[in-house]
Amino acid sequence: MLAVGLEDDSLERAKRKQPENLIAYDHWLRGKRLLWTVGQNNLEARQHFEKAAATDPSFSRAYSGLAVTYQMEALDLLIAAEGRGAYDIAFDCAKRALALDEADYQAHIALAWPCLYRGDYERMKKHVDRAIMLNPNDADSLANASYMLAMYGDGEKAVACGEAAMRLNPRYPDWYIAFQATALFTARRYPEALAARIRVPDYFIDSTFFRAAILAKLDRLAEAKLWAEKAVARLKARPGGVEQAAKGCIQLLLDNNPFRRQEDRDHFAEAMRMAGVPG
């Protein structure tokens, strides 16, 4: 809690500075606070991280931040082939961050993400574990870990990480809840997963689908179908969404949520079909 408060104070001081007086750390702070807003501020965040790297090329966290922006860009794209280039850039930026500072837990988290989407699950878990070992009390790292460990298949540990993150940062942003809802679903804790998802029903492109899946697993099929229809409509409203929906929503969701274990993939896909989501 103290760490979060100190960072907030530093950000407020940075906001009072003129742009030409910002140093690398100020740019990093501004960029960090612009992240995780469902793509709305991703480009602006990237510009701050680029300025941080230009101001201080040895600043590891500038490249960690850049990696996250490219990872989020890849996730925001509906067609997987278009996202591969962004994944590769995210991977390269994160590797550079880690080369600059192997002891920076944020660099390990940044590298874990593209490893997950490359299907390199063991390397992903190694970097998640290393990040938590380096700083077991960093709330953001634990919140990220909650999602990645859910994809790995360790639902209960994922839930524990999410709970710890929210305890350490009582002013947690909505993406903490979104990741925790996914961890709870993976752990088959459906009532708790629904309670979390209700708080952030549309945070990510797949959040609405997840709510339909949870309701289906609770045998609330009429509600599940309504949310599935809403989710498909929301997908179709995005650029390229109509074409992607025609190819099959379930596969898109499995691409966006790369579960390692086949049983978890089947569990998610089954819930989607129960809710009436087209394959």
Name the one residue in this structure whose structure tokens are 């001081």.
13
Cα(65)–Cα(113) distance, rounded to whole angstroms? 12
Within 13 A of 187's CA, how many CA atoms are on the CB side?
24
Name the one residue in this structure whose structure tokens are 């380096």.
134
- Contacts (Cβ under 8 Å, ≥6 apart) of 276: 212, 224, 225, 228, 229
Q: Which residues of the chain have pLDDT under 70?
A: 1-22, 36-40, 77-84
CB 163 within 8 A of CB 169: no
- Among residues 15, 109, 20, 22, which one has the least CA distance to residue 60? 109
What is the reported pLDDT for 97?
Answer: 95
What is the reported pLDDT for 104?
Answer: 93
CB 165 within 8 A of CB 172: yes
**pTM metric for this prediction:** 0.88
Cα(222)–Cα(242) distance, rounded to whole angstroms? 24
What is the reported pLDDT for 192?
Answer: 98
Cα(5)–Cα(215) distance, rounded to whole angstroms? 37
CB 212 within 8 A of CB 275: yes
Q: Quote the tokens at residue 152.
A: 């790995």
What is the reported pLDDT for 241?
Answer: 78
CA 39 to chain CA centroid, Å, is: 11
What is the reported pLDDT for 7?
Answer: 52
